Amino acid sequence: MRLERFRGRDLATVYRDVSRTLGDDAMIAHSRVVRDAGQTYIEVVAVDAVEIARFRRQLAPPAPSVLQPGAARRARPYAVALVGPTGGGKTLTAQKLAVHDDAFGFKRAGLLALDPDRAGAFDRLLHFADANDLDVEIVHDAKGLRTAQRRLASCDVVIIDTPSVAPRSERTTWRAMLRELAPDETHLVFPATTRFDLAATIRETAESLGVTHALLTKLDEVPSDANVAMLASTLGLPARWITDGQRPSADLRTAAPTIISAFETAPSEQGAFA
């Protein structure tokens, strides 16, 4: 989505330019008074109404079927996979989705971590699962995967934690296991601190994993909401949740209100979206 900047000596002139360029239904995302070379101007940033409506729909995907009223019991648990780069917060996000009331906190949730390299860095996840009475399975190979699926069969939803996605990574074992799991949703967990020039590359790398949604994390670590708006636009994926802290039961929110409101600051601080 592209936001365009307009500047003039008075508001009427600027609005006329907006209407001429984007149409009478254009939405004003931001306006301010600026000084440039000793002169005072009115600056407005606007977006085509059709584009902003499309973006709002993108940020309000349908709820998972398991959360919809009157949903019938499925033959297998609803599966939500989390994929993304190192340091994105996938494991913490999995914990949040399992217990937060705005996610699957009212359902029987299980956690499944793919660990083909036997890295073994899951002590915190195991402790969390024990403290919150959650079923959890750490899977190293295909045989273990089938065992884990049987053990988690009584859950309403299973949240799948995966190894890191990297552009040059050649690890394929866990990808094969993920395909066998056939998740209903695959969320690209993406830290809001990521440089914009890397965002498209990482998304392209994750495309082969069947990514369906974006899930922005670490919003509490970015200096401005401008980063959030630009990153969401760059990824171009539906987004249901965002995270902004370390507390599993508290620091998760629906994505749309935060990302849409971020447009109010994004244009003045970062310029137009490409």
Residue 168 pLDDT: 58
Residue 59 pLDDT: 81
Residue 47 pLDDT: 80
93 in the same domain as 47 = no
246 in the same domain as 150 = yes
* Number of Cβ within a 10 Å radius of residue 101: 10
- Which residue type is seen at 38? G
Residue 234 pLDDT: 80
Residue 175 lies in a domain: yes
45 in the same domain as 110 = no
112 in the same domain as 14 = no
Domain total for the chain?
2
39-47 and 4-8: which strand pairing? antiparallel
Residue 217 pLDDT: 95
The answer to whether the beta carbons of residues 77 and 149 sit under 8 Å apart is no
112 in the same domain as 46 = no
78 in the same domain as 34 = no
183 in the same domain as 163 = yes
101 in the same domain as 20 = no
Residue 60 lies in a domain: no
Q: Express each pLDDT in 49-85 by its tens digit.
A: 787 778 888 887 888 888 887 777 788 999 999 999 9
Identify the DSSP state of 188: E
Residue 274 pLDDT: 34
- Which residue type is seen at 57? R
- Which residue type is seen at 187? H
85 in the same domain as 18 = no
Interior angle at CA 61, CA 77 and CA 177, nearest 5: 40
Report the CATH number that the domain containing residue 101 is assigned in CATH: 3.40.50.300
Q: Express each pLDDT in 224-260 by its tens digit.
A: 776 787 788 788 899 999 999 899 989 999 998 888 7
32 in the same domain as 132 = no
Residue 272 lies in a domain: no
Give Cα 132 distance to the centre of its chain.
24
87 in the same domain as 202 = yes
The answer to whether the beta carbons of residues 212 and 81 sit under 8 Å apart is no
Q: Which domain holds residue 209?
A: 67-266
| Total residue length of the chain | 274
Residues of the chain with pLDDT under 50: 267-274
- Which residue type is seen at 23? G
Q: Edge-to-edge strand order for the sheet containing 135-139? A: 135-139, 109-114, 157-161, 78-83, 185-191, 213-217, 239-243, 252-254
Report the alpha-carbon distance of residue 26 to residue 186 in Å, rounded.
34
225 in the same domain as 189 = yes
Maximum Cα–Cα distance for the chain, whole Å? 72
